[in-house]
A and B are shown apart, each in its own frame.
Chain A
Amino acid sequence: MGSPRPRHLVAGPLLVMALATILGSTMLLPGAGWARPLLVAPGVCSARWLGEPAAPPAYYAIELVSTRRVPGARAASGVGNVSFARSPFGIAVAPTGEYVYNVDLQLQGLNAQSRGVYIAWLTTAALDQVKRLGRLDAAGAIRGQTTWNKFLVLVTLEPDDEARPRWSGPIVTRGMSRSGRMHTMAGHGPFQLQPCTTYGY
């Protein structure tokens, strides 16, 4: 104890605030203990058994939640299925070691908009990189791919389908990769007496 705090950690709480702003108040609760894990919904991890087609792992599925900010899409909801991209090895891994994931979004409750179109995005947990997946199709679906370890999924209402480096319109739905729930053990479990803010978040 007592060594200088690593510089890269200084930005930690700021990133958390940014994340909390994006994700709304349901996932990260500032206060004692800072972060509170989401509970796994019952049954989400069930396998596909006899007679049922196999499907992407429910365990890594991303729940897409409405921000309730966009008229005509306040009741929107959806799921982002995360599965390994096709690979001769079964698991798909980048040469730098990250998983290569397909992200399949399927939304419902989106009414057609006269003032824009629904565009899907992926962004890192630090929001420093953004990938435009594109416009949702008529069924509210789109597929993308990522190698980010932790990422957010956003659907925004954009004025048009023009390719932009990042979103400009309001966020319609948002979700976070399962890996994004992982955070420091400081303040939790066997390390509950450690100050978690020392370790970023």
Chain B
Amino acid sequence: MHYVRLLTPRRRAAWALMVLLIVGSGGTAVSQQGEAAKRTPPQEEMSHQQHMMDGMAPTGDALAWRMPPMDSNMPMMPGLEAATPSVNPFIPAHGVDLTDFPVARPGELMDLADGDEIELTASIVRREISGREYLMFGYNGQYPGPLLRAPTGATVTVLFRNEIPMPTTVHWHGLRLDNRFDGVADVTQAPVLTGQTFRYEVYFADAGVFWYHPHVREDIQQDLGLYGNLLAVSADPDYYGPVHREEFLILDDILIDEHGIIPWGEEEPTHSLMGRFGNVMLVNGSTDYSLEVARGAVVRFYLTNVANSRTFNVTFGGAPIKVVASDLGKFEHEEWVTSVPIAPAERYVVEVRFGEPGDVPIENTVQAINHFRGEFYAHVDHLGMVHVADAGAEPDLSAAFATLRENRDVQADIESFRPHFSRSPDYELELSLEVGELPLPIILSMEFERGLYSPPMEWNDTMPMMNWLATGNEIRWILRDRATGHENMDIEWTFQVGDVVKIRIFNDPEPLHPMNHPIHIHGQRYLVLEMDGVPNPNLVWKDTTIVPVASTMDLLVDVTNPGDWMLHCHIAEHLHAGMMLAFRVDG
């Protein structure tokens, strides 16, 4: 990779001349749409007339590169009207007849017991999104994949078969299972080629909600629908509080325009700066999730974010929300919250009481940034609707819902780790970025912003042109071990089973385009002890947590599971742009 020598006077002059020519010829780069919109409907996003992109007008071929949809109030960068990514466009199974493939059906529940054996097949399926059919991927022909529910302590054999036209694997995200079955291509197993099979032994160690997905080109395969939930059920019938029903909400987004799904990069992912944000929101693979409940019903929602990059801030129309658990089990105590920020690959378990009849929207409510205008603006995505009936729910659970439970079992489990809380970190990771040869207007824009403000979180893709053009060829995301200076897969950490390891992570705000990173550790569990020097008074075992820009986070890892494991950013495009390391645990 050739790293850019920023803004030499010669390049500056060349670029300025280019802009003069563009503007002087009557072109303009700036939309006058002005007002910061609350929500730009997808159909408005899909036209690029105001972006002056005649040079790359879509040909009607879904496989052709064309600029992804963007808010109409965002201007096109001058000089980039005909720019395309440095990789080839790629859509799996492009050009084949839709009708050759089965219509996918909604995800089904598979109740499993210790020793059970099931089949899981990844294949091409036909899916309808917003009235249009697409060829996508599915596990067992379903969207999402089947919900695998098993008691804690159970081991289930999964006979996996790959029928998609790409190599793949299955990673059992969050499960502390045998390393041989962790599903990381070229680390724990060879990729499963098309037509091949692999036998996984899936061990449900901890009571919690988990998920499974490929660990090969996640940016494509996961985006196309290869994901499903796992629920490990505690033997304690009182593990959670009483509810009227349970719902699984898998949050996702997908990037579509009037010609179809925007292609992915063939050799490397596109969108390597901020990750690939979609413009169509999906809950359980659908744009019209809805739920009917009785008045006063208490619903336990298991939330999983499977999006490539988007962090959601989920609201339930003002209904009271209690957060009870996250990745690997319950919090030390339950808490009232007003929304649920959930980063890619995280899970949260919340209980919501719907006390009044009527419609309660489930929404993603964020403050996005219009970088051109230098403004924040409210952005709301509709995720679903809860229809609350007049008839009251039975039994009345209002008193139980009003009580915040102390989870003594969790507190007791964590107690033995407290002596480690105050000691110095054993390892330190710095999160950083190197930017290679991108078009000069993009570099100029990034340089301009760096001097001003980088937000702690990127809630949506407010720089779609810049982001789309940045591929794994130009971007290298970095995990840097401060002690050795080693980066990414050159880092060599070795632990022993029984170690308790404190890792400090600092998300450096100084690179050209810093971003939040959901950091995932395979095969172990960890506590987030503190962020920015503030101790966490309500701990929960995690496998993925979001590290905002400029923040410092201390993790305490309970090393219990031998083998070769990964630590990486779970933004799919960041992972593929290098942001991963492997560590060994000797047993």
A182 to B: closest C-beta gap in Å: 4
Give the distance in Å from the alpha carbon of A2 to the alpha carbon of B26 in the complex. Answer: 13
**Is the C-beta of B508 less than 8 angstroms from some C-beta in chain A?**
yes
Chain A contact residues: helix, strand, loop or mixed: loop
Is B372 touching A184 in the complex (CB atoms < 8 A)? yes
The proximity string for A residues 143-161 relative to B, scoring 1 for CB distances below 8 Å and 0 otherwise, is 0000001100000000000
The proximity string for A residues 135-149 relative to B, scoring 1 for CB distances below 8 Å and 0 otherwise, is 000000000000001
Give the distance in Å from the alpha carbon of A190 to the alpha carbon of B545 in the complex. Answer: 35
Which of chain A's residues have a CB closer than 8 A to the CB of B504? Answer: 47-50, 54
Q: Which B residues between 486 and 514 are near A, CB-CB below 8 angstroms?
A: 504, 506, 508-510
The proximity string for A residues 168-201 relative to B, scoring 1 for CB distances below 8 Å and 0 otherwise, is 0000000000111111111011111110000110
Give the distance in Å from the alpha carbon of A49 to the alpha carbon of B35 in the complex. Answer: 44
Is B376 touching A149 in the complex (CB atoms < 8 A)? yes
Is A56 touching B16 in the complex (CB atoms < 8 A)? no
Is A95 touching B533 in the complex (CB atoms < 8 A)? no
Give the distance in Å from the alpha carbon of A93 to the alpha carbon of B367 in the complex. Answer: 10
**Is the C-beta of A134 less than 8 angstroms from some C-beta in chain B?**
no
A184 to B: closest C-beta gap in Å: 5
The proximity string for A residues 72-87 relative to B, scoring 1 for CB distances below 8 Å and 0 otherwise, is 0000000000011011
**Is the C-beta of A32 less than 8 angstroms from some C-beta in chain B?**
no
Number of B residues near A (Cβ < 8 Å) is 84
Which of chain B's residues have a CB closer than 8 A to the CB of A95? Answer: 313, 315, 318, 338-339, 365
**Is the C-beta of B537 less than 8 angstroms from some C-beta in chain A?**
yes
B61 to A: closest C-beta gap in Å: 29
**Is the C-beta of A167 less than 8 angstroms from some C-beta in chain B?**
no
Number of A residues near B (Cβ < 8 Å) is 60
Binding stretch for chain A, among B64-72, B159-167, B261-269, B442-450: B442-450
B16, B455, B552: the one contacting A48 at CB < 8 Å is: B552
Which of chain B's residues have a CB closer than 8 A to the CB of A57? Answer: 456, 509, 532, 550-552
B472 to A: closest C-beta gap in Å: 23
Give the distance in Å from the alpha carbon of A193 to the alpha carbon of B25 in the complex. Answer: 13
**Is the C-beta of A51 less than 8 angstroms from some C-beta in chain B?**
yes
Is B35 touching A84 in the complex (CB atoms < 8 A)? no
Is B32 touching A86 in the complex (CB atoms < 8 A)? no
Which of chain A's residues have a CB closer than 8 A to the CB of B425? Answer: 49-50
Give the distance in Å from the alpha carbon of A113 to the alpha carbon of B217 in the complex. Answer: 65
Is B532 touching A37 in the complex (CB atoms < 8 A)? no
With A54-B552, A59-B550, A97-B459 as contacts: A88 and B453 at CB distance below 8 Å: no
Is A190 touching B428 in the complex (CB atoms < 8 A)? no
Which of chain A's residues have a CB closer than 8 A to the CB of B40? Answer: none
Is B549 touching A59 in the complex (CB atoms < 8 A)? yes
**Is the C-beta of B156 less than 8 angstroms from some C-beta in chain A?**
no
Give the distance in Å from the alpha carbon of A196 to the alpha carbon of B455 in the complex. Answer: 22
**Is the C-beta of A21 less than 8 angstroms from some C-beta in chain B?**
no
Is B373 touching A47 in the complex (CB atoms < 8 A)? no
B313, B337, B373: the one contacting A97 at CB < 8 Å is: B313
Give the distance in Å from the alpha carbon of A149 to the alpha carbon of B366 in the complex. Answer: 12
B371, B456, B533: the one contacting A54 at CB < 8 Å is: B533
A-B contact count (CB 8 A): 198
A49, A93, A178, A188: the one contacting B453 at CB < 8 Å is: A178
Which of A60, A94, A99 has most chain B Cβ within 10 Å? Answer: A60
With A149-B367, A200-B373 as contacts: A90 and B528 at CB distance below 8 Å: yes
**Is the C-beta of A115 less than 8 angstroms from some C-beta in chain B?**
no
Is B378 touching A96 in the complex (CB atoms < 8 A)? yes
**Is the C-beta of B19 less than 8 angstroms from some C-beta in chain A?**
yes
Which of chain A's residues have a CB closer than 8 A to the CB of B374? Answer: 182-185, 199
Give the distance in Å from the alpha carbon of A40 to the alpha carbon of B510 in the complex. Answer: 9
Chain A residue nearest to B311 in the complex (CB): A91
Is B367 touching A97 in the complex (CB atoms < 8 A)? yes
Which of chain B's residues have a CB closer than 8 A to the CB of A6? Answer: 34-35
Give the distance in Å from the alpha carbon of A14 to the alpha carbon of B480 in the complex. Answer: 46
With A150-B376, A182-B374, A199-B373 as contacts: A191 and B29 at CB distance below 8 Å: yes
Give the distance in Å from the alpha carbon of A178 to the alpha carbon of B452 in the complex. Answer: 7
**Is the C-beta of B93 less than 8 angstroms from some C-beta in chain A?**
no
A38, A47, A189: the one contacting B447 at CB < 8 Å is: A189
With A47-B508, A57-B552, A59-B549 as contacts: A193 and B20 at CB distance below 8 Å: yes
Which of chain B's residues have a CB closer than 8 A to the CB of A193? Answer: 19-20, 23, 78
Which of chain B's residues have a CB closer than 8 A to the CB of A49? Answer: 425, 428, 482, 504, 506
A-B contacts, 29 of them at CB < 8 A, read A3-B32, A45-B550, A47-B428, A48-B533, A49-B482, A49-B506, A54-B530, A54-B552, A57-B551, A59-B454, A86-B537, A89-B337, A93-B339, A93-B366, A94-B338, A95-B365, A99-B456, A179-B376, A181-B452, A182-B375, A183-B374, A185-B371, A189-B445, A190-B441, A190-B444, A191-B75, A194-B29, A199-B372, A200-B373
The 10 closest A-B pairs by CB, nearest first: A47-B506, A57-B550, A189-B448, A59-B550, A190-B441, A183-B374, A6-B34, A54-B533, A149-B376, A97-B367
